Amino acid sequence: MCDHDHLPKSPSASKKDKKVHEQEHATWNRRSFIQALGLAGAGGMVLANSAVSASKPSPLSVALSQSENENILVIIRLKGGNDGLNTIVPVYDYGTYANLRPTIKHNTADLFNLNTNFALPNYMNSLQSVWGDGNMKVIHGVGYPQQNLSHFRSSEIWASTDDINFEPTGWWGRYFEDLYPDYLINPPEIPPAVQIGSLGNLIFDGVNSNYAFSVANPAQLANVAQNGSLHDVTDIPDCVYGDKLLFMRATANTTFTYAGVINDAYMASNNDVPYADEQLANQLAIVARMIKGGLGTKVYMVTLGSFDTHANQVNDHRTLLEDLADSIKDFFDDLSATGMQNNVLAMTISEFGRRPYENGSNGTDHGAASPVMLFGPGLNGSGFVGEHPDLNVWDSNDNLLPSTDFRDVYSTVLTDWFCLDPSVVSTILLNQTYEHLDLGLSCESLSVTDFSDTTKLSHVAIYQNDRTYIELQMPVTGNVDIKLYDITGREIATLKNEILFPGRHRIDVKAAVKGRLSYGQYLYRIALGGQFYSAPLLIK
């Protein structure tokens, strides 16, 4: 945990805090490095020099694709913990604000008022017209109870929606097996989610994988789409080295599943406004082209960072917020050129806010509550939602108290923007029900997906004593057909094809194959009652 105490600090305390901070970032970077290699199911792609990863369909994505509207969500991740008090300035209590931040405060002459209580710094003036046109809302004090001050853990909480347990799946990937159980063998034609500018995040993780891919630029996308793969998977030596080589080559090939459709959409459109050559601007310019090019993807996530402003906050925070404000304005102007702005909602998230007071390094340390900003004509008017935290009331770690749970925001967006039935939303959010917020969003139609199927097959690959098993929990009597495939999709063997009764059944994979089975990654596919389920397994 990267926690910082009251200022001023002793030299020894400052050194200790700095070491803790560096250790946590080292952990974060090691995980990102593993993901970038594709070893954890994540990677990066580059379109117009911006890193991109495209997430394959999650159950939620499928539910969205089946809804009766064409709405799109763009999640803007403010990575590092955005300082909410210097973003949305509480001028209603300016004296307290200024006393807490004598060095890094915004002077009143450097602000433009959104209303009599809150203001933005002048360098975010690109948002003046966005606010004036009724296309911006601010949700005050967003966070969760017992705020964790670790970048890594708090980001996981925002992605998984679970602040108690270490939930390994994200709210976008959680019900992949339930709603799209046969993805590994039969993926859809378009990527339901596209992530840009980050090396991966738990938000798109299902039980089995993160489903991301990696290329350098749009020209390479076209080349991959034409050739189908990058590496030969047929001329492989029959040995342990060959097994590993096959696995790595096949994994690389599968990363380009959606290369063609993304490239087609990107090349079929243009940006109708000039974007600055900045971090977020480059990403949103790509998203605009994908949307305008008819890709059909429902969810995008872009990343701007780093907001971890322990020092030199005045200059660093300004650079980031200028990029945010200018890019939002350009993005919606770009969409407006083709009349597509009404179906796009943009929403900021950040793992936490900052302390109410500045530290001894002209910055702020890890905090709790921070505003979430939403943009788009679908908001039906600008305004504020919820109560701003009291600047004089802090928790035991000297942080502002959250007044809005971040899952209230997720729940409301899913219900009022994507028109999902509340019971479906509760399932997505780990069977919890959260408060509905008045964001001005409205559903013209409602699509209800049935998640209450009690006949769903439960299955899992398990490993015991150097053996690999597939374990089934049969809900009803039925004929089960289980086939094994290599990572390229080539059928290897039929593991089981017979009637099984309700209850638990276990299949020894190697014994069922009755022949040599090389070490490495495989896929299995189960057919039961017209439904298909697929998942990876490892032969050790």
CA-to-CA separations, 148 to 152, 156, 162, 490, 496, in angstroms, rounded: 9, 10, 12, 46, 47
Q: Using CB atoms within 10 A of its CB, is residue 503 exposed (0-12), middle (13-18) or buried (19+)? A: exposed
Whether 206 has a pLDDT exceeding 90, the answer reads no
User: What is the structure's pLDDT at 48?
Assistant: 56
Which domains, and CATH codes, for the chain? Answer: 11-215+255-428 (3.40.720), 458-539 (2.60.40.3080)
N-term to C-term CA, the chain: 36
Task: Work out the pLDDT band at 313, boundaries 50, 70, 90.
Answer: very high
Q: What are phi and psi of 14, to 5 degrees?
A: -65, -40
Q: Using CB atoms within 10 A of its CB, is residue 25 exposed (0-12), middle (13-18) or buried (19+)? A: middle
Q: Using CB atoms within 10 A of its CB, is residue 380 exposed (0-12), middle (13-18) or buried (19+)? A: middle
Half-sphere CA count of 395, side-chain side, radius 13 A = 20
Q: What is the pLDDT of residues 442-460, one digit of tens each?
A: 875 433 334 334 456 889 9
Q: What is the pLDDT of residues 476-519, one digit of tens each?
A: 888 899 999 887 677 889 999 888 888 999 999 999 998 778 88
Q: What is the pLDDT of residues 362-394, one digit of tens each?
A: 999 999 999 999 999 999 999 999 999 999 999
CA-to-CA separations, 265 to 291, 292, 293, 296, 334, in angstroms, rounded: 8, 8, 4, 9, 16
C-alpha 332/C-alpha 324 separation (Å) is 12
Q: What are phi and psi of 53, to 5 degrees?
A: -130, 140
For the chain, how many residues are written? 540
Q: Tokens 């738990």, residue?
A: 202
Residues 460-490 as b or e (16 or more Cβ within 10 Å = b)? ebeeeeeebbbebebbeebebebbbbbbeee
Query: What percent of the chain lies above the pLDDT cut of 70?
Result: 72
Pairing of strands 193-196, 458-464: unpaired
CA-to-CA separations, 346 to 75, 83, 298, 301, 420, in angstroms, rounded: 6, 19, 12, 9, 18
Give the strand order in the sheet containing 458-464: 458-464, 467-474, 503-508
User: What is the structure's pLDDT at 267?
Assistant: 83
C-alpha 423/C-alpha 172 separation (Å) is 16
For residues 4 and 365, is the Cβ–Cβ distance under 8 A? yes
Q: Which residue has the higher pLDDT, 7 or 56?
A: 56
Q: How many CB atoms lie within 10 A of CB 240?
A: 11
C-alpha 166/C-alpha 108 separation (Å) is 43
Q: Using CB atoms within 10 A of its CB, is residue 347 exposed (0-12), middle (13-18) or buried (19+)? A: buried
User: What is the structure's pLDDT at 7?
Assistant: 39
Whether 210 has a pLDDT exceeding 70, the answer reads no
CA-to-CA separations, 464 to 165, 171, 317, 403, 524, in angstroms, rounded: 26, 30, 52, 48, 18
Q: What is the pLDDT of residues 296-310, one digit of tens each?
A: 888 888 899 899 999
Single-letter amino acid code for the residue at 431: N
pTM (predicted TM-score): 0.75
CA-to-CA separations, 270 to 258, 338, 422, in angstroms, rounded: 20, 10, 38
User: What is the structure's pLDDT at 516?
Assistant: 79
